[in-house]
Structure 1
Amino acid sequence: MFALFGKQLSAQSVKFGATAGINFPTISAYNNPTHSIDRSKTYSNIKLGIIAEKQWTKVVLQSGLLLDGKGGKDIYINEETSTNRQKATRLYYLQVPLNLLYRTQTKIGDLYFGGGVYAAYGLWGNYSLSGIIFDSDVDGSTKAQFGNDENSDYKRTDYGINFKTEIRFLHGIGLELDYEYGLKDIATPGIYDDANLKTRNKVFGVGISYLFKHK
């Protein structure tokens, strides 16, 4: 992926831009024996970065370097233990997407749609707890740990597939919708292995982009 991106950057026709937006991520856990899915509630996060793309008549190869916010919100209620707590998770990744988009003209601008793949590296994250646990009020934040051992919360790396749609106006400003589906199990060893759970990131995002060199 990096080799392809670097090859495109060496071409004179490559255009550069910036993107920013809001992500609405979830973390899902798939239980193989029961074929059930436990999915967190959506939680908002950010997306910032630079983009680079090479354009042909109808096809665009697009990549970039993003700070991609993921995570989710989990609500647990247990009346027997007098527990009603909310756990909000924010995870931040350095992410490289590689998308192949089809371009067509409309009355208001160029429409792009297509998809591709992404690779991501976990930078930092945190948990925010609020509510009541065993009749005691809780309100605080804890740092999330990336790693591959049982003392870590999530694996450091992630990868998956992208789906993207963007409408770009005459002055290089674009509005975009994208969806990321994680293919890697990001759960660390331990209880997740015993329960045979597969945990993945999923992200729906909206954003605005600006192409510095536009036609």
Structure 2
Amino acid sequence: MHIFLRHGLLGSALLLSATTGAQAQLTFGPRVGLNATTIHYDFGDCREPETSLHTGLQAGLSLNAQFGKLAVQPSLLYSQRGGKSTATASDTYADTTRTFDFRNTTRLHYLELPVNLVYSTKGAQGGFQVFAGPYVALGLGGRQTTDMDVTIQAGAQRTTYADTFFQNVDFTNKRGEVSQVEYLQALDAGLNFGVGYKLGGLQAQLGYGLGLRNMILDYPDGRSPMPEGKSYNRGLHFSLAYFLG
């Protein structure tokens, strides 16, 4: 948390110093939006689960430092992310086969600091926009819900049952040993890019967030809970901001 805030404050100080020297036009205001995100899995030679989008909210404040047709836009946001996935596994012993169908929903909460470089066709007045820039995000907490259907085929006899279980998400730098907790990297980082339109103080943007930091944590002794396994935050975001002069 202290590292995140220190880098955020340092970046803000450098930005203000640069904008003052270049006589930028500064405006700021609220930003709200909707995220449609997923968790991208890369398990090497193993089969990855099928994924789908999870929707969440974002809200916070944005600063616009305008230099002609270019602008720097840092924001501080509360952002809901996560994803949905499905997977199937089975095992066979003697004449009995068990099949497991999993449906998993992961809800994650972040404090996010994106810094975008924005090009507007009409400068301070707005117009069509393209933007890109890095982001860092600090995990605040989360929860996983897993619905499981089990089918047991023993000869001609077939039995099915369903179960649901939950895991809290702990964002940390060190994996623990509690089985009812999912441990993920505390700090996420990646790139944002997209398009938008600005009319006066009102701005609408549609972007894509490309997470580049593996969310899976190793055990303290260096062992991986899933060798060659990686997962990343990915997804779309739509936002509205209103900048006050």
Aligned equivalents of 2:50, 2:198: Cα separation in 1: 33
- Distance in 2, matches of 1:121 and 1:200, equals 14
**Structure-2 separation of matches of 1:117 and 1:46:** 20
Question: How far did 1:102 drift?
Answer: 0.9
One of 158, 163, 168 as aligned partner of 2:193? 163
Shift of 1:127: 1.0
Q: Distance in 2 between matches of 1:37 and 1:75?
A: 9
Q: How many percent identity over aligned positions?
A: 23
Residue matched to 2:3: none
Distance 1:39 1:46 in 2: 23
CA–CA distance in 1 between the matches of 2:47 and 2:126?
Answer: 43
Report 1:1-215 matches (<5 A): 2=8, 3-9=10-16, 11=20, 13-32=25-44, 34=45, 40-78=51-89, 80-105=97-122, 110-133=127-150, 135-139=160-164, 141-151=166-176, 152-170=182-200, 172-190=201-219, 192=224, 194-213=226-245
- Asked if the contact 2:49/2:86 (under 8 Å) is kept, the reply is no
Query: Could you state the TM-score of these two structures normalised by the residue count of structure 2?
Result: 0.75
Distance 1:101 1:109, change over 3 A: closer
1 CA distance for matches of 2:238 and 2:108?
A: 18
The size of the alignment, in residue pairs, is: 210
> Is the 1:63–1:97 contact (alpha carbons within 8 Å) kept by the matching residues of 2?
yes
Which residue identity lines up with residue 212 of structure 1 in the other structure? L
CA distance in 2 between counterparts of 1:192 and 1:93 reads 24
Deviations 1:32-74 (A, max 9, x none): 4x49865622111111111011001110001010112211101
Whole-angstrom distance in 2 between the partners of 1:64 and 1:77: 40
TM-score computed with the length of structure 1 as normaliser: 0.84
Whether the 8 Å CA contact 1:26–1:39 is kept in 2: the answer is: no
Query: Which structure 2 segments of 5+ residues have no match?
Result: 1-6, 91-96, 152-159, 177-181
Aligned equivalents of 1:136 and 1:124: distance in 2? Answer: 31
Structure index of larger Rg: 2
Shift of 1:8: 3.3
Determine if contact 2:120/2:126 at 8 Å carries over to the other structure.
no
